[in-house]
Homo-oligomer: A and B are copies of this chain.
């Protein structure tokens, strides 16, 4: 975990390692999977599942019996924790609901926007060895609150042909309508274009591996997607009031995700930086996932020494971290200096994992600097707006000349005609 100056870190951020512009091999296989699913539907899905997940399925759809079995396999503690999390997530996201609105103007003019939930959405939940029931709640509940009538989930089956019971229980708790056992690019293709069993959706959300991410990029435009997610990041701003062992634990919680994850700590006092560095390396040894976390800390961990608050927040805004912890004396005031961050955690008692599982705000956040232009997943991701325009005859006639002037200037004379035909009619 390198200690570096703000100036050096700024250089690092402004000159990122070359972005891979194209991955020919990945594209080739992702595009061939998408084409195959569009052509052969379910048949392709069964065949890819056999090939990639090593399972010969009889049915893609998770049955009621499988849900019942799952309910019996999870602990009461887990269920209680998930129910509390659901309550908090629902409460927070309910604040994001938007309403249709309109304004009446003079002269019989009504303008506004109508808000409508998307009709069908798809949620991808990664599988394999790990299971992410928290992702199910975070992705499905906002859709539910938006009023989406049909929520389809896909997740790769385990090698026994089943879905992790915790994931199924979470799906039921979140009100997911149908769960299908399909993973990878083939799942994204099925959701985007539909097959005999799987109905096409209008938006696909959720994290996934490189195949899933690339498939999402390719289907983008034909359907909406939430984002193309990258590795996880945390940035901790720590002043002298920071509890350094807490800060270290929080940095490590992101580092354990994967080797590409980044844990960055910005301090204004080198002494604090050294304490956090030492504490991080000490706690690292005690972790179950110390190999992954250790590589992440070694490669991407940074203690950045800023000269003052101003420089510290300049670095934060340039980084645009997914998660930002403000472990400083006055975090509310500090927050005003933050322009770019996915989620902002205030004080010594708001560690990032609190947000991952429990507090209520969404854990699907913009990564890799995209917090400079993107928002956390929310209810607003599952609605769309239609503008409403209603003019009276008087109002239109009053506006007619101006409209025709602009239309004619743009050379679109049939546009002008559509206005003038109504004007001439009154002569």
Which residues of A are interface residues toward B (Cβ below 8 A)? 19, 21-22, 31, 34-35, 77-78, 80-82, 84-85, 92, 95-96, 101, 103, 109-111, 113-114, 116, 118-119, 130-134, 166, 202-203, 217-218, 220-224, 227-228, 245-246, 249-250, 252-253, 255-257, 283, 286-289, 293, 324, 331-332, 335, 338-362, 365-366, 370-376, 378, 380, 384-393, 395-396, 399, 401-403, 405-407, 409-419, 421-422
Contact = CB atoms under 8 A, between A and B. Distances in A.
A338 B388 CA distance: 11
B114 A344 contact: yes
A84 B406 CA distance: 11
A96 to B, nearest CB: 8
Contact of A387 (B132, B287, B343, B347): B343
27 contacts: A77-B405, A82-B406, A111-B361, A119-B340, A131-B410, A203-B373, A217-B221, A223-B373, A249-B418, A252-B417, A253-B417, A256-B414, A287-B413, A288-B413, A289-B413, A345-B390, A346-B389, A349-B391, A349-B392, A350-B390, A357-B403, A359-B389, A362-B387, A366-B384, A372-B384, A376-B387, A380-B380
Contacts of A356: 407, 415
Q: Is the interface of A mostly helix, strand, loop or mixed?
A: mixed
A332 B114 CA distance: 12
A253 to B, nearest CB: 4
Q: Rank and list the top 8 A-B pairs by shortest CB-CB distance, nearest first.
A: A361-B387, A81-B402, A346-B390, A202-B373, A256-B414, A353-B415, A375-B385, A343-B387
Contact of A340 (B116, B133, B250, B350): B116
Contacts of A324: 386
Given A287-B413, A359-B391, A360-B111, A354 B103 contact: no
A78 B409 contact: yes
Contacts of A345: 389-390
B361 A410 contact: no
A99 to B, nearest CB: 12
